[in-house]
Amino acid sequence: MMRTVYVNGNYVPENEASVSIFDRAFLFADGVYEVTSVLDGKLIDFHGHIARLERSLKELGINYPVDKDALLEIHRELIRKNDLVEGMIYLQVSRGAAADRDFMFPSADVKPTIVLFTQSKSLVKSPAAERGLKVASFPDQRWRRCDIKTVQLLYSSLVKNEAAKKGADDAWLVLDGKVTEGSSNNAYIVDENNTIITRELSNDILHGITRKAILQCAAELDLKVEERAFSIAEAQKAKEAFITSASSFVYPVIEIDGAKIGDGVPGPIAKRLREIYIEANRAAAI
């Protein structure tokens, strides 16, 4: 289906959408993005994503005044125009297109470029959720401001492809002997006492919107949470492992670097967290 996308104030067919070759996202990866999931044609945790967008823009000094109501209306209009029932909305804001390629930022009159488009995907019924993921580990060679959601995703893309070559579904990144996060998701393990362990918030990981919601779900299930780093060896001995993101919700992890996690099938805690996350967020969607 030909999608209708949004570019700088206009709704256009995807094959007519264009941005300048001098756009700084294209030349310097000088842009930030958000991915918001859609269930039943409604947005999941929209305000969380917009708050993180504002933070990313502020950290990079991109002068895009976020108008939450206007952005909500654009998201909703794209859902309507594309009859999107389930999937994601991708939003990207770059520092804009200067007159030429220049490492120095353009003058203040250069307007940021804003692009949004829909992606249809079955999020609730998911083979990956039922089967569980195999992950392979790689050194975390990203820049050290992973808390900013920039479009600079080359390393994440490289390791995901390397993981596929090894027969794995995704990559977990390791910094100084400890897992930071997945290529495009946050990483968790569950120990023998059913404690959920996930790396603490810092510049080394993206502060996942789904992560925050899942830790709340864990509290509702009276599960203990430890926010600390863990190694691949500790993960391989864990009872369960899983990942979270807006485009996966919760996916169990069943194998890490060839070692089976638990019985090598999706664990009950990951399954339960996925169920209650979907239930609660479906009800709260706007």
In the complex, which residues of this chain contact ligand PDD (CB under 6 A)?
35, 181, 184-186, 206, 208-211, 244-247
Q: Smallest Cα–Cα separation from 63: which of 121, 9, 109, 26?
A: 109
Spatial separation of the C-alpha atoms in residues 118 and 83, rounded to whole Å: 10
CB of 285 to ligand PDD, least distance (A): 15
Nearer to ligand PDD, 42 or 97 (CB): 42
Q: Smallest Cα–Cα separation from 88: which of 181, 199, 180, 209?
A: 209
Residue 271 among the catalytic residues = no
CB of 145 to ligand PDD, least distance (A): 12
Nearer to ligand PDD, 136 or 206 (CB): 206
CB of 228 to ligand PDD, least distance (A): 17
Residue type at 40? D
Rg (CA), the chain: 19
Nearer to ligand PDD, 74 or 159 (CB): 159
Q: Which residue of the set 68, 149, 178, 271 is catalytic? A: 149
CB of 278 to ligand PDD, least distance (A): 14
Nearer to ligand PDD, 35 or 158 (CB): 35
Q: Which residues of 73-96 are buried (b: 16+ CB within 10 A; e: fewer)?
A: ebbbebbeebebeebbbbbbbbbb
Residue 161: partners with Cβ closer than 8 Å, 6 or more residues away: none
| Catalytic residue IDs | 149
